[in-house]
Structure 1
Amino acid sequence: MLRLLATPLNETRRLSPALWFLLPLAFGFLSLIVGQDANWDLQNYHLYNPYALLTGRIGTDLAPAGMQSYFNPLLDVPYYWMAMNLPPMLVAAIMGTFHGLNFLLLHGLVRRVVPADTGKLAVLLLALSGCLGASFISELGNTMGDNSTALLVLGGLLLIARHWSRIGRGGVRAGLICVAAGLAVGLGVGLKLTNAPYAVGMFMALALIGRPSARRLAVCLAFGSGVLAGMAITAGYWFALMWEHFGNPLFPQFNAIFKSEFAQEITLADTKWLPGNMWETIFFPFVFTLWPHRFGEVAMIQLLWPGVYTLFGAWLVRSAYRRRMPSGAMCTPIEVPVADITRFMLIFLVASYGVWMAVFSIGRYAIVMEMLLPVTAWVILHRLTSVSRARRVAAWLIGCAVALSLLRFDTWGNAGFAQESFSVDVPPVAQPENSVVLVLASPMAWILPHFPPALAFVSLGSFPESQGYWQRAQAIIDGRTAGLYAIVPAVRDARAQSIQRLSDWLDGHGVQNGDRACSAVAFAMRRMPRLQLAVPVQPDGALGESPCAFELPPAHRRDVGAENRQIAKTVSESLRHRGLSLLLETCTVRSAHIGSKEHVFQFCSAARSPHGPP
């Protein structure tokens, strides 16, 4: 990699333009290898929310996906349409390729902030390394939105970088460029509010570059107005809709401020990921690298974060030391001058990191910063040491980080491909236009688009409920008198089902008990945690050949029916204080699939108490 990073400019002219087409497609291919998206948020709201928006269900249903039912669904509309109309593999390839477009924007940004003598191939590898970080790969092709909105944030950064000299001269055209950059970032913030730290970081970077002047103030105001306009375009309609229905544009978040009667007066800020003390705050990149679950549910090894943090600290210390030295007391400095656009990127990164850590400290919200870490390491190393040594250290640091990300990467949940992206065994419902379904299982809102659209869905127990919320739920329930049903959690014996599927596959391929193939399968199963408890099925004394089949010993079998009956009974008891109950004898277990991955739920009839809640 060092040789590639040090490749001279005249040796890199042979890079084919086809790379700009093929590399995004490569991310689409990698998305196919990972499989169909099946993350928790998709199951909860990424499929339901666009369905509710497109079919006008905001006033019909009540929080079937919990508080996430009221997150802006605009970003999920394209995926919803594709999932319902296109083959699953094509959807995954499109999503992965779309995320791969980040490489093109990152490449354009990298080539403008690195030292002038950096080769074209080195620029390409730095940009590619930025798209191979653990967080970016973990979300490749999925619907969580961080990779998708990163395109808008990087687009704003690139727009400023491309026109940096014109922005410095000021004028109307410079203002329009800043408005356009702010617009791009604002669109991303409106689609996903967790991009707000990047808008703040970019504003601060624009404000801190150069001497204070009316020109710089105008640039900042132009950028800020663009951000507000972008947010209005992608989220203004949603804020207005939430205000109309609930009296809180961010419902149910920040309800301590807006005081909507339909939710508790709480802020709903997720603070469990924030640094716990001063030392964690100072050394946070080392903390979440040593303990990956400290900043996200999925463990991701982030080698570049502490590396860049250390390099940046060394650079600050060295710069402070040099400023204290008398003029002429030191040798000629070895670092190359830092261009203003490079300084702009570094300030953006530092400011965004500070806001992110103070507000979220959640790893997947830092994907844009993660993508900039390789080029940041490259730039700082060129300030700290000689060019040859800087490139050698950068090659090792970035190469090891990328290798570790690819070898140890995890995802937020995927499934194998099937004929349909989603399929649900929908139970029959009489008079759906006059019936209500209580959603008492989570995350199960993804199955609701497959039910009759005339139904109304109401969630109980997964929302910060207030008295006003319950009164609204009660009005929906009482207003539909034909039928009351409930979606209730269910369990399945996944281990037994896996063993049965394997036995059926072996039988279908003619593998017989006693064959070498059967013995090899049994040997392999003993080394697989999910299947190691299986034992061969013994023939019933009949002569002749018997299929190669396995089963769980009786001591390890689960009585799934009894477990599901107990779950339904517990749920029914929890509804008593609301004047509701489940008709337990009507509960049936239904199957639903995300790709090839099975999920189960119980569908029960429910009853209203003639006396209502106590």
Structure 2
Amino acid sequence: MPAGPRATAAAALVWAGAVACVAGLVVQRLWLALTWNRCVDGLVLALVSFGLAVLLQRARSMPLATALACVWAFALVWFAGVLPVLAVAWLGVAACALGSLLLGDDDDALLALPLGLVLIGGLAGWTLHWPIHRAWVYVPLLAAACILRRGALRRAFVAARAGWRSAIADSPRLAAVAVLALGLASVGTWLPTMQADDLAYHLGLPSQLQRYAAYAPDPAQQIWALAPWLGDVLQAIAQVIARREARGALDALWLLLVAGMAWRLARRVGADAAAAWLAVALCASLPLLAALLSSMHTELPATALLLACALAIVDARGERLRAGAVLCAGLVALKFGSAVSALVLVAWALVHARGRVDWKRMPVALALFGVLAGSNYAYAWQATGNPLFPLFNQVFASPLLPPAQLADPRWHAGFGIGLPWSITFDTDRYLEAAGGGFGFVLVALGGAWLVALARRETRALALVASIVLLLPLLPMQYARYAFPGLVLLLPALVVAVVRSLGARGAACVLLGICALDFTFQANATWLLQVNTLRKLTGNMDGAGEAFRRYAPERTLIAELRRRDDGDSIVLALDPQAPFIAELARRGRSVSHYAPALERARIAADADASGVGWRTLIRDVDARWLLLRPGHLGDAQRAALDALGAQRVAAAGAAELWSVEPARSDP
């Protein structure tokens, strides 16, 4: 490392960030927030996987990183299921085949895969209302894509294998560390689907396609039914092919894309192979990544598409115009908030092109963008009068909602210069998480952040990533929305640390941050804080045991299907547990997701006689009731007595009750 005032100042800045992080840990006494049992679990998993990989390495004479990848891949198949993994693999190969159409002669499987996923999900979004979404339709179509593009697939596979071997050979030890870190992050994919947003909303579209082969959204019963749905459409396709939920397997595919893009993007901004593997390890260690891998939230695929779009920009080839349009369309089709990120990347692409834009290709690129991004917005406009429903209803005034913007008062801690510190150490003010659940990068590498903005090779990426990181936090300070921008920033930060401290010093600092992040991994989600992982690995029916303890409505819904697999209505009486998405069209809730029923619930609660609740239950023609006895009000109890409702099953804190159909008047 060259000596001089600038080099000394850069090194001092990097070390200042590390010192500030240690000081924050001490001042905030953050060790009191640790889940020590989960730390032990992570250490045991790391040691066991490493031991098995060493045995495999000696038995098969393969690199340690490859052996570790095989061990963790086997664990994914064991916990996520053989059929879901095969379904997602089939979807991924077909996506590579279709995505290669946009890359010309470039046999780049890493970039073709997200392009193909956007093509498949974006086109399928226009057909959701048609009853054609069956395995015997998808499998031949995906097979046809693979057969027609078999030459491109063969070349892409050969190039990917050669690239993997070369990347490992250049830095075998850090490659093994990065793969181990990815494996530890992937434990989120093992967990059954139990996060609240998934049970109340995201499972709805996949469940409808699996049961009915079509999607019939009802925004009156679920205000997010017409929200951007690319992520849920891809989940649904994999679920239809596998004939069961495939969330964990698809999340693992997104994880591989994020890792591959982070590695290559680091190389594009000046990192050698060792530094690129450090960038992958740092990304994998982020606590919020494990939380996203246990959910259907859009931030995980948005991160993959964001990195892919950045990579397409820095490659700066002529044919990347269509690829960039498709990736930006994917961002907008995942979440309207991601449109801001897409606009930032478009501005970066125009600056990076320096006037060399092929405007003749622009109409085709815009048409691709409109087709792939527009399905849910068109359906929402037709059904509600608001293309962004339920957002910005103060502008579009759909009659289904009051003319006001949706807002969550929990996440308005304030935006200021101290935000990186607060979001790191007071994470519960910005996320449903404990302190440290967002990770320590923003503080520990705060000095490196300034260095990355100052250095020529990292300045553009660091600036763009900073904007993408901070802009979503301006209207509402919700940490999950900043995650894609944080991951995009990591390659620039790693290069800045390596340039400032040298390879050995940078490895010590960055691996220390990785270890610290992994220590606080469970703080990012309650799923890892509780004993879900131990129940899953220590019980033959681990998923069932986890459902009974932490998501009892899923156990009761399975029991309901055994008793009544028809279309009778199921009403969830607890507004805090509207977990009926997997019931497809049968489910009803009285939460804020269904504004009319929410108003009826408020009025019924005010009627102590129970008549209001009895009328509500009859009006929705409910045959089954999901409830939590501890939250049952007096008016609800009176209504259940008057209706002659009977408890038929119980699981954990929840119960399933039956209601006899109303007798018809003579």
> TM class by shorter-chain length?
0.5 to 0.7
Amino acid at match of 2:231: L
- Select which of 115, 125, 133 maps to 2:278: 125
**Is the alpha carbon distance of 1:304 and 1:220 closer, same or farther for their aligned partners in structure 2, counting shifts above 3 Å?**
farther
**Is the alpha carbon distance of 1:28 and 1:17 closer, same or farther for their aligned partners in structure 2, counting shifts above 3 Å?**
same
Aligned to 2:659: 605
Give 3-state SS (helix, strand or coil) of 1:108's partner. Answer: helix
Q: Within the alignment, does 1:395 sit opposite 2:511 as a pair?
A: no
Task: Give the deviation of 1:247 after TM superposition.
Answer: 1.8
Give the distance between the partners of 2:237 and 2:653, measured in 1 at CA: 22
Task: Give the deviation of 1:301 after TM superposition.
Answer: 4.6
Amino acid at match of 2:525: W
Give the distance between the partners of 1:443 and 1:467, measured in 2 at CA: 14
Give the distance between the partners of 1:284 and 1:223, measured in 2 at CA: 39
Task: Give the deviation of 1:112 after TM superposition.
Answer: 0.7
Structure 1: segments with no counterpart, 5+ residues: 3-9, 167-172, 320-336, 492-562, 574-579, 593-597
Task: Give the deviation of 1:468 after TM superposition.
Answer: 13
Task: Give the deviation of 1:412 after TM superposition.
Answer: 3.3
Trace 1:138-157 onto structure 2 (pairs within 5 A).
Answer: 138-157=291-310
Q: Within the alignment, does 1:187 sit opposite 2:187 as a pair?
A: no
Asked whether the 8 Å contact 1:152–1:188 carries over to 2, the reply is yes
Q: Within the alignment, does 1:296 sit opposite 2:431 as a pair?
A: yes
Q: Within the alignment, does 1:206 sit opposite 2:322 as a pair?
A: no
* Higher Rg of the two aligned structures: 1
- Select which of 456, 459, 471 maps to 1:338: 456
Aligned to 1:412: 525
Task: Give the deviation of 1:58 after TM superposition.
Answer: 6.3
Q: Within the alignment, does 1:42 sit opposite 2:179 as a pair?
A: no
Aligned to 2:595: 465
**Over residues 171-221 of structure 1, what are the superposed CA-to-partner deviations in whole Å (9 max), with x where a residue is unaligned?**
xx2xx41331232132122122332332132133335558xx6x16x4799
Give the TM-score normalised by the residue count of structure 1.
Answer: 0.62
Amino acid at match of 1:31: V
Amino acid at match of 1:249: P
Q: Within the alignment, does 1:104 sit opposite 2:158 as a pair?
A: no
**Is the alpha carbon distance of 1:395 and 1:15 closer, same or farther for their aligned partners in structure 2, counting shifts above 3 Å?**
closer
Give the distance between the partners of 1:368 and 1:271, measured in 2 at CA: 23
Q: CA RMSD in A?
A: 4.7
Give 3-state SS (helix, strand or coil) of 1:251's partner. Answer: coil
Task: Give the deviation of 1:345 after TM superposition.
Answer: 0.9
**Over residues 475-524 of structure 1, what are the superposed CA-to-partner deviations in whole Å (9 max), with x where a residue is unaligned?**
xx99x999533534214xxxxxxxxxxxxxxxxxxxxxxxxxxxxxxxxx
Give the distance between the partners of 1:379 and 1:456, measured in 2 at CA: 53
**Is the alpha carbon distance of 1:274 and 1:465 closer, same or farther for their aligned partners in structure 2, counting shifts above 3 Å?**
same
Give the distance between the partners of 1:196 and 1:448, measured in 2 at CA: 26
- Select which of 536, 559, 566 maps to 1:425: 559
Task: Give the deviation of 1:606 after TM superposition.
Answer: 8.0
Give the distance between the partners of 2:508 and 2:173, measured in 1 at CA: 28
- Select which of 394, 402, 418 maps to 1:283: 418
Task: Give the deviation of 1:457 after TM superposition.
Answer: 4.1
Give 3-state SS (helix, strand or coil) of 2:649's partner. Answer: strand
Asked whether the 8 Å contact 1:264–1:466 carries over to 2, the reply is no
Task: Give the deviation of 1:153 after TM superposition.
Answer: 1.4
Work out the percentage of aligned pairs sharing the same amino acid: 18
Give the distance between the partners of 2:234 and 2:495, measured in 1 at CA: 38
Amino acid at match of 2:394: A
Give 3-state SS (helix, strand or coil) of 1:68's partner. Answer: coil
Amino acid at match of 2:335: K
Q: Within the alignment, does 1:585 sit opposite 2:644 as a pair?
A: yes
- Select which of 438, 443, 451 maps to 2:571: 438
Asked whether the 8 Å contact 1:440–1:486 carries over to 2, the reply is no
Asked whether the 8 Å contact 2:393–2:405 carries over to 1, the reply is yes
Q: Whose strand proportion is higher, 1 or 2?
A: 1
Give the distance between the partners of 1:81 and 1:443, measured in 2 at CA: 30
Amino acid at match of 1:246: T
How many residue pairs were aligned?
463
Give the distance between the partners of 2:292 and 2:322, measured in 1 at CA: 30
Structure 2: segments with no counterpart, 5+ residues: 1-14, 16-165, 545-553, 601-611
Aligned to 1:177: 320
Give the distance between the partners of 2:179 and 2:215, measured in 1 at CA: 40
Trace 1:503-542 onto structure 2 (pairs within 5 A).
Answer: none
Asked whether the 8 Å contact 1:132–1:402 carries over to 2, the reply is yes
Aligned to 2:88: none
**Is the alpha carbon distance of 1:219 and 1:380 closer, same or farther for their aligned partners in structure 2, counting shifts above 3 Å?**
farther
Give the distance between the partners of 1:199 and 1:369, measured in 2 at CA: 12
Amino acid at match of 1:190: A
Asked whether the 8 Å contact 2:452–2:496 carries over to 1, the reply is yes
Q: Within the alignment, does 1:571 sit opposite 2:625 as a pair?
A: no
Give the distance between the partners of 2:587 and 2:189, measured in 1 at CA: 36
Give the distance between the partners of 1:311 and 1:61, measured in 2 at CA: 48
Aligned to 1:161: 314
Q: Whose helix proportion is higher, 1 or 2?
A: 2
Give the TM-score normalised by the residue count of structure 2.
Answer: 0.58
Amino acid at match of 2:419: F
